[in-house]
Amino acid sequence: MTREQVVDIILNSTGPPLNEAEQTEFKRWLDQEPELRTLFEQQQALFRAMDLWESEAPSSNFDQAVYARIQHDAEAQPFWHKLLFASWKPALAAGLAAAALLIGTLVFDFESTQEPTQVAAKSAPEAEYYEEIERVLDDMEMLVNFDAFPELASPGRS
């Protein structure tokens, strides 16, 4: 058993009961550590004091008194307070919707202004790549057509 476990046992009065071996070790900790012994005694005194305390029973008209006080507090607020602060929830929702629309518009405009430059930047290398492929294919076609004249290619030509 560690010191932290002993402190947890002292502070937790509703914890599971200790078996005999744990009780023996707990008592050994209390005998060896005066700080833990003092904490245990103070905690026990607190629990005894709480057991002696008795709460008062609520009166028979408790609910009526609570509702009357709530009604009185609601009526005691000035008119301007009700006017300004009663409708803050719909105003908050409208403000959040407006902010979302504004942010969405700004982001959409930013992306739409960025797209043409990015497309132009991407299309220039792609165009060069396709032009290079076209040149290679033209060269290959020219070489294939070169074999079309066998009399020029034959070695026994006079």
pLDDT of 35 reads: 93
Confidence of residue 68 (pLDDT cuts 50, 70, 90): very high
Q: At what angle do helices 20-32 and 3-11 cross, to 10 degrees?
A: 100
* 97, two tokens: 């919707």
Q: What's the rounded mean pLDDT across residues 122-134?
A: 79
* Residue 42's pLDDT band (cuts 50, 70, 90): very high
pLDDT at 31 over 90: yes
Q: Which residue type, as a one-letter code, is found at position 46?
A: L
Predicted local distance difference test score (pLDDT) of residue 158: 47
For residue range 8-20, list pLDDT tens digits in order: 888 887 777 888 9
pLDDT at 66 over 60: yes
Residue with tokens 């070169």: 146
Between CA 119 and CA 131, with CA 125 as vertex, the angle to 5 degrees is: 120
* Mean of pLDDT values over 20-38: 91
C-alpha 6/C-alpha 8 separation (Å) is 5
Highest mean pLDDT among 29-38, 100-109, 119-128: 29-38
